[in-house]
Amino acid sequence: MTQTCLTFRDLTLGYNSHPAIHHLDGTIRRGSLTAVVGANGSGKSTLMKGIVGVLKPMAGTVVRAPGVRAAYLPQQSELDRSFPARVVDLVSLGLWPRRGLLGRHTREDRAAVSQALMAVGLGGFETRPIDTLSGGQLQRTLFARVLLQDADLILLDEPFNAVDTKTVGDLIALIKRWHGEERTIMVVVHDLELVRQNFPETLLLARQPIAWGETKETLRPENLLRARHFHEAWEENAPWCEPDSHEHGDHAHDHGHDHHHGSGPRAA
Amino acid sequence: MMETLYGFFIAPFADFAFMQRALFGSLMLSLGACPVGVFLMLRRMSLSGDAMAHAILPGAAAGFLFYGLEILPMTIGGLIAGIIVALGAGAVSRFTIQREDASMAAFYLISLAIGVLMVSIRGSSVDLMHVLFGTVLALNNEALTLIGGIVLVTLVSLAIFWRALVAECLDPLFLRSVSRLGSPVHFIFLGLVVLNLVGGFQALGTLLSVGLMILPAAAARFWTMRVEPMCVLAVLIGFASCVAGLLLSYHASLPSGPAIILSAGVVYFASILFGTRGILRARIVHHRHRTA
């Protein structure tokens, strides 16, 4: 069995020929829990979209290890809250990987839906219409759906936005449970304190990886300072990126070094 | 007393074959069109349905131009025109930055203009009226078979793609993350819309066939919070509107298409007022509340 879950090869993702992720190389180890941090516009959400496949790469590839199923909780959901659905209908969408288009939802499936809701502290919310949920409750409902998807790779994009402290605690506990089950998890987070306390590994992004590896190393002041100097705006007339002109070899090397160092002891 | 009731409600259908056909045809139409209308409404595409109904015109007109007032050529023509417009507008919105409302408007206006042009080349205004408003009272076997086929295809497709259709309405990004069905389902759905509009235009005309789709669905929205009951209710409202409309048309000598759609309109207004999620309930019941 391979130890890699995701491999980025010279990955460039972006919009209108402007890169948001520029020549990313590296790997995500199976069973790792990685925080993705960086300023606004540093490419965090874009990377998530690239991994899940809703955004096609402009260059390079993301390779998923064979058989790896991904669950994705986007930052900006396209969820239509006025749609006449109950909490249980929304969470049941998470059965899709197991039951697909036509598979019958069994009694066990319904029990699993209820259990997932219990796990996020929403037991008894099954028949509530989704337009009566608060923001935090909705977020927990979506977590329940991710739970139900039973995926090997879980991508959460700013899952703690507009969520109260207690709920953040609950959700972190859930993430740690997934981590204990050897699932691979990547979470976009803004709260660095939260990252330091709960995430063993961190990827610090500023269109390119500034640092990537053990959280304590990655979030050192000099790295954060470098990330802060990142220039967010696109330059309309930026020169075209030629195959040899970018520094990607440099970065790949850097990162490979850091990463193996950082993850070596933990893998045991 | 019983005889008056019989005379009013039953006799028109019992005594006249054309009324039986009209009833049979319009009830079948409701069975397919109303659930499609529910999804059209939930996807906020109610007006797209209207646009699509206009877009069918040039196809129907082409059939009319070459074959005269024949059902089959006009239907096939309408189907082709509708599918071209639906796919074209759908593709523009899926693959460019333009939203579906704008691309749909552009496509249907072009299509409508072509249609009016074609009808005016050959026909008198009476013919145009016929294409636009239909005649539910003149449904022949051919038309009934066609409607039956369309209803069958619609119900089978809805049953197969139900889960994907709900997911595509409720959370399209999620569907894209777990399956590649998102785009195909959207186009299949647009296809069903066109199919049902074409089925309806024999009976109700191109302009009003969309009414049997949208009005029952819009009325049902005021009564329930879930999709499945909403579809069933929409079909029942469609049935009631067809019966009421045909009776009204028979007794008051009114054109049948508008009578059916207006009956659905009455149910719609009643639902706005008295529905469990309607105006009156919201005003009255909310004076009381529970402790938690």
pLDDT tens by residue, A230-247: 766 667 777 777 765 554
Residue B226 DSSP class: S
Report whether B56 contacts B107 (CB < 8 A).
Answer: no
Chain B residue with minimum CA distance to A93:
B167
Rounded Cα–Cα distance for residues B101 and B103 (Å): 6
Amino acid found at A106: T
Other Cβ atoms closer than 10 A to B124: 10
Half-sphere exposure of A107 (CA within 13 A, CB side): 0
CB-based burial, A2-11: b 16+ in 10 Å, e otherwise: eeebbbbbbb
Indicate yes or no: CB of A84 within 8 angstroms of CB of B164. Answer: no
Instruction: Find, among A142, A164, A165, the residue nearest to A154 by Cα.
Output: A142
The alpha-carbon gap from A237 to the nearest alpha carbon of chain B, in Å, equals: 23
Residues B189-211 as b or e (16 or more Cβ within 10 Å = b) = bbbbbbbbbbbbbbbbbbbbbbb
Q: What is the pLDDT of residue A247?
A: 47
SS (H, E, C) chain A: CCCEEEEEEEEEEEECCEEEEEEEEEEEECCCEEEEEECCCCCHHHHHHHHHCCCCCCEEEEEECCCCCEEEECCCCCCCCCCCCEHHHHHHHHHHHHHCCCCCCCHHHHHHHHHHHHHCCCCCCCCCEHHHCCHHHHHHHHHHHHHHHCCCEEEEECCCCCCCHHHHHHHHHHHHHHHHCCCEEEEECCCHHHHHHHCCEEEEEECEEEEEEEHHHHCCHHHHHHHHCCCCCCCCCCCCCCCCCCCHHHHHHHHHHHHHHHHHHHHC
pLDDT for the residue numbered B287:
66
Note the pLDDT of residue A243: 64
| Backbone φ and ψ of B61, nearest 5° | -65, -40
What's phi and psi for A206, nearest 5 deg? -150, 70
Q: For A84, which of B160, B171, B226 is closest by C-beta distance?
A: B226
* Helical packing angle, B71-95 and B57-67, nearest 10°: 150
Please indicate if any CB of chain B lies within 8 Å of the CB of A50.
Answer: no
Question: Looking at the partner chain, which of A70, A90, A96 has a beta carbon nearest the beta carbon of B179?
Answer: A96
Tell me whether residues B173 and A74 touch, CB distance under 8 A: yes
A93–B167 CB contact, under 8 Å: yes
What per-residue confidence (pLDDT) applies to B124? 65
Task: Say whether residue A104 is in contact with chain B using an 8 A CB cutoff.
Answer: no
Q: Which residue has the tokens 């075209």?
A: A240
Residues lower than pLDDT 50 in chain A: 247-268
Query: Is B171 within 8 Å of A77 when comparing Cβ atoms?
Result: yes
Q: Do A102 and B160 touch (CB under 8 A)?
A: yes
Does any CB of chain B come closer than 8 Å to the CB of residue A126? no
pLDDT of B254: 85
- Rounded to the nearest angstrom, the minimum Cα separation between B227 and chain A is 6
Please classify residue A240 by burial: count the beta carbons closer than 10 Å to its beta carbon, then call 0-12 exposed, 13-18 middle and 19+ buried. Answer: exposed
Q: Which two tokens stand for residue B234?
A: 């929409």
**Option in B161, B169, B178 nearest A83 (CB):** B169
For the entire predicted model, the pTM comes to 0.83
At A8, give phi and psi (nearest 5°).
Answer: -100, 125
The residues spanned by each domain of chain B are 2-287
C-beta separation of A74 from B173 below 8 A? yes
pLDDT at residue B228, rounded to an integer: 93
Chain B: give the shortest CA distance to residue A238, in Å. Answer: 24
Q: Mean pLDDT per segment of 10 residues, for chain B of length 292 residues?
A: 82 86 92 94 86 84 78 84 86 82 87 83 67 74 89 95 91 86 87 89 80 94 92 96 92 88 95 87 72 77
State the nearest Cα–Cα gap between A84 and chain B, in angstroms.
5
Quick one: closest CA in A to B170, which residue? A80
A86 touches chain B (CB under 8 A): yes
* Residue B96, token pair as written in the block: 């460019």
CA distance B285 to B274: 12
Element (H, E) at B275: none
Query: d(Cα A163, Cα B19) in Å, to the nearest integer?
Result: 61
Using a CB–CB cutoff of 8 Å, tell me whether B183 touches chain A: no
> Chain B closest CA to A264's CA: distance in Å?
32
Q: Is A85 on the interface with B (CB under 8 A)?
A: yes
- Considering only CB atoms, which chain A residues are within 8 Å of B230? 84
pLDDT at B126: 66
Asked if residues B239 and B33 have their Cβ atoms less than 8 Å apart, the reply is no
CATH architecture of B2-287: Orthogonal Bundle (1.10)
Q: Least CA distance to A73: which residue of chain B? A: B174
From 3.30.2310.20, 3.40.50.410, 3.40.50.300, 3.90.25.10, which CATH number describes the A4-68+152-267 domain?
Answer: 3.40.50.300
What pLDDT does residue B219 have? 95
Say if the Cβ atoms of A78 and B173 lie within 8 Å.
yes
Residue A100: left if φ>0, alpha if ψ -120 to 50, beta else—which one?
left
- Interatomic CA distance for residues A147 and A91, integer angstroms: 9
Would you state the pLDDT for residue A252? 42
Q: Which pLDDT score is estimated for B93? A: 81
Q: Do A54 and B164 touch (CB under 8 A)?
A: no
Nearest CA in chain A to B97: A16
Whether residues B170 and A90 touch (CB distance < 8 A) is answered with: yes
Alpha-carbon gap, residue A149 to A158, rounded angstroms: 19
- The full set of domain ranges for chain A reads 4-68+152-267, 78-150
What does the block give as tokens for B128? 């145009």
Diameter over CA atoms, chain B: 70
B178 and chain A in contact, CB less than 8 A: yes
Instruction: For tokens 């390119």, name the residue.
Output: A208
A-chain CB neighbours of B222 within 8 Å are none
Complex prediction ipTM: 0.82
CB pairs under 8 A between A and B: 70
Tokens of residue A152, six digits: 């090997």
Question: Bridge partners of A33?
Answer: A185
